[in-house]
Amino acid sequence: MPRLAVAALALVALAGCVSQDAFRKKEAEAEQLRKDWREEQVRRAKLQESFDQLKAQLDAMLLDVNSLREKIRADEATLAQKEAELRAAQGQTADLQALVDELSKSKKKLEAAKAELERKSAEYEQLASALRTEIDAGRIELTELRGRTTVKMKDKILFGSGSATIGKDGREALRAVADALRNVRGKTIRVEGHTDNVPTSGTTFPSNWDLSSARAIAVVRFLQEAGVDPTRVAAAGYGEWQPVAANDTPEGRSLNRRIEIILVPVEGAAPAVAAPPAQAAVKVPAAKQ
């Protein structure tokens, strides 16, 4: 074989060996790339999964944040409402406290007024002591209100039906009253006559006005004759017009038929004092009938 042919064959063989090695190398590189790509795909899938999880958590957190914001706004509104209610309640409390204070003052005033009404003067105690027998016997009632002392006597103790003449029992009761009144100073003594609403037909008096006035005058005359200062005594007849009970029952009419002897303070007068013993022994003349 010629040398030239041998050389050519050697060169061809050598070229085939080189191409096979390069191919295998490239194929190995391609396989490694495919393996790297698959691993990259797995990593990307895992990353995508992690991303999706993180995004879901973020979305949930955003929902929580929005919910918390709404709750905060609602709580702020509720807080503002509660603060307004608290201020209103504080205002009401202040008003109630002011009302309590005012009621307390009113209560003290009422208690003071009650105590003043219930407080009995020395004059009242003096009269009550002097008239104790008549009071206990039910012939006289003694009261005191705002400085006005009243001696109340039922008409049946003093007068017969339709009459203005003082009877025996009435004179005895009035004599005790006169003895007590002589020791009173600084008061005007007003004798008031009162009747029920039964007409006075069949009597000597045209009306209850006349009957009540005549009875009051009869008592004034008796007191004067018994030693009571006539300058301090007055008579008034009110007829049926100042009842203390309803006139539709016998009991009520009985209460309305009465003589009231009222002691009223005289402006600028000296305070009431007990008369000296010598004056208390004034002789009482017989009452005129």
pLDDT (tens digit per residue) in 14-42: 566 668 888 888 888 888 988 888 999 99
Per-residue pLDDT at 136: 93
pLDDT (tens digit per residue) in 78-128: 889 888 988 888 888 888 898 888 888 888 888 876 666 556 778 889 899
Domain boundary residue, one of 95, 119, 143: 119
3-class SS letters over 23-37: HHHHHHHHHHHHHHH
Residue 288 lies in a domain: no
Is 5 found in the same domain as 111? Answer: yes
Q: Kind of pairing, strands 258-265 and 233-237?
A: unpaired
Residue 271 lies in a domain: yes
CB distance 238 to 194 below 8 Å: yes
Is 267 found in the same domain as 196? Answer: yes
Residue 9 lies in a domain: yes
Is 132 found in the same domain as 106? Answer: no
pTM over 0.85: no
Is 133 found in the same domain as 102? Answer: no
Domain boundary residue, one of 85, 119, 153: 119
Residue 248 lies in a domain: yes
Domain boundary residue, one of 119, 137, 154: 119
Is 187 found in the same domain as 115? Answer: no
pLDDT above 80: residue 149: yes
More confident residue, 24 or 147: 24
**Which residue range forms the structural domain that includes residue 86?**
1-119
- What mean pLDDT comes out for the span 178-196? 93
pLDDT above 70: residue 280: no
Whole-Å CA distances, 269 to 106, 146, 255:
33, 17, 33
Is 176 found in the same domain as 72? Answer: no
Residue in the block written with tokens 């022994």: 281
Chain-centroid distance, C-alpha 227:
53
Residue 289 lies in a domain: no
Q: Kind of pairing, strands 148-154 and 258-265?
A: antiparallel
Is 207 found in the same domain as 141? Answer: yes
Residues 6 or more apart whose Cβ sits within 8 Å of residue 222: 166, 171, 174, 178, 287, 288
Is 260 found in the same domain as 177? Answer: yes
CA–CA gap between residue 123 and residue 121 (Å, rounded): 5
Is 162 found in the same domain as 233? Answer: yes
Is 167 found in the same domain as 105? Answer: no
CATH number of the domain that 251 lies in?
3.30.1330.60
Is 147 found in the same domain as 107? Answer: no
Residue 54 lies in a domain: yes
Q: How many domains does the chain have?
A: 2
Is 136 found in the same domain as 257? Answer: yes
pLDDT above 90: residue 209: yes
